[in-house]
Amino acid sequence: MSSSYFTDLAQQYIDGEWRPGTGSWDIIDFNPYDGEKLASITIATVDEVDQAYSAAARAQKQWAATNPYARRSVFEKALRLVEEREEEIAEAIVAELGGTRLKAAFELHLAKEFLREAIHLALSPEGKIVPSPVDGKENRVYRVPVGVVGVISPFNFPFLLSIKSVAPALALGNGVVLKPHQNTPITGGSLVGRIFEDAGLPAGLLNVVITDIAEIGDAFIEHPVPKVISFTGSDQVGRHVATVCAQHFKRSVLELGGNNALVVLDDADVDYAVDAAVFSRFVHQGQACMAANRVLVHRSVADEFTEKFTAKVRGLKTGDPSDPATVIGPVINSSQADALSGVVQQALAEGATALVHGTTTDNLVEPSVLTDVPADSELLRQEVFGPVVFLLTFDDEDEAVRIVNDSPYGLSGAVHTADIERGVNFAKQIDTGMFHVNDGTVHDEPIVPFGGEKHSGVGRLNGETMLDAFTTTKWISVQHGRSAFPF
């Protein structure tokens, strides 16, 4: 049962040892649906962060020198373990972050795909010989691990988004220290540590520190050992992470927020677009960086779309995430629930109309569909992390492009049209890292570059871009014969 995870794994995992933190207070892990206390974890201090990084640095040299075929076997075993423990992990996702059964299955499916890609990544670094203008010179370019990577994962897809950076960083020969979000310390942190421990990863290579910036400040990112920090979270925190990394000559890989739009052109299949839009906004209660905050509909199909969209939204069941019929579970905590209520109230105060006006009970936030939001409202330009959607109309494609791009974010998006090339041409005009024609806005595939433009992040993950994220190049030249020096 997953409940044992919350007793057995409520610890730090440092240098191959499970032990309590030595901080002066505990992080309490609550079930966001019923408020049940799942775990109490004494936090890690700055000293323990240092121990974790030191352990990773010690273990990494030998790991980097290990035959990549031998490294690969760890990820094959980790994949088998996730498959064997899938039901318990799903239960933990439902309990710890209020993910529905559907969402847990979605997250686990992707986590397994990323472990499969890590198996492949272990063998993918390739060197090359580069020509030289100097006679007799051989230029070798080696692809080598960066050393140690610090990973900071978020609360919304904690198991997946920890695996997504941890597994490739390890596969490419690095050590890792993982700091999960305080709201998801087990599924985003110690559970990942346990899986790799059981898969035979050498002790010290992966460390998990459960802590809070109130205790450690910037120690996790300032520490001299990690050469790369992989952060997934809000753009406000991402900006700070990037600034600190730059001051310490570290590379940062930032997967940040979105203010994505799903666009319905005049020739779209309206029923299909409704299905795509409802999923794109309300998957995991809208707590996804790729979720569609805004739905833009051509005026000629707006009435039909709005009627069908609001009818479908009203039919979404909000409630207990462990009930297979539930589509909308709880948001992660009360401050998130209060913020979402505040967004709806602000929109109404600015003159918006609520086509669907959901109520909030504790952390359960029912869906709201808002229209007539003023074009200059800041609400249309910010990320709304929950089941609130803005419905907008437009008269032509140029107007739609302008509205979609009128945002500091540029992560994902989608357009629906009967003409594929029209959709592709539309997508090319949008300032995002990803855009989808005739589909939803929420997609992640292991070998396709994933990331955003503008405030949505820096760098890419997945596939070959993992090499850019977690390795570096080294030039070693060999002079055959003798060089001639001018003096």
pLDDT of residue 440: 98
Confidence tier at 227 by pLDDT (50, 70, 90): very high
For the cut 80, the answer to whether the pLDDT of residue 226 exceeds it is yes
d(CA 362, CA 357): 16
pLDDT of residue 448: 97
d(CA 404, CA 399): 9
Nearest to 176 by CA among 155, 151, 157, 152: 151
Nearest to 81 by CA among 209, 239, 195: 195
Superfamily for the 3-256+456-475 domain = Aldehyde Dehydrogenase; Chain A, domain 1 (3.40.605.10)
pLDDT one-digit tens code per residue, 67-126: 999 999 999 999 999 999 999 999 999 999 999 999 999 999 999 999 999 999 999 999
**Catalytic annotation, residues:** 255, 289
Beta-carbon contacts of 24 under 8 Å, excluding residues fewer than 6 positions away, are none
What number does CATH give the domain 260-437? 3.40.309.10
pLDDT one-digit tens code per residue, 293-305: 999 999 999 999 9
One-letter identity of residue 384: V
For the cut 90, the answer to whether the pLDDT of residue 3 exceeds it is no
Count other Cβ atoms within 10 Å, centred on residue 103: 25
pTM of the model: 0.98
Partners of residue 475 on adjacent β-strands = 141
For the cut 90, the answer to whether the pLDDT of residue 316 exceeds it is yes
Domain boundaries, the chain: 3-256+456-475, 260-437
d(CA 12, CA 21): 6
Q: What does the radius of gyration of the chain's CA atoms come to, in whole angstroms?
A: 24
Nearest to 322 by CA among 85, 39, 38, 97: 97
Backbone φ and ψ for 320, nearest 5 degrees, come out as -65, 120
pLDDT one-digit tens code per residue, 131-186: 999 999 999 999 999 999 999 999 999 999 999 999 999 999 999 999 999 999 99
* Antiparallel, parallel or unpaired: β 228-232 and 148-152: parallel
For the cut 70, the answer to whether the pLDDT of residue 2 exceeds it is no
Handedness of CA 423, 117, 462, 232 (dihedral sign): positive
On the CB side of 349, how many CA atoms lie within 13 Å of its CA?
Answer: 8
Tokens of 188: 């985003």
pLDDT of residue 274: 98
pLDDT one-digit tens code per residue, 179-209: 999 999 999 999 999 999 999 999 999 999 9
pLDDT one-digit tens code per residue, 426-482: 999 999 999 999 999 999 999 999 999 999 999 999 999 999 999 999 999 999 999
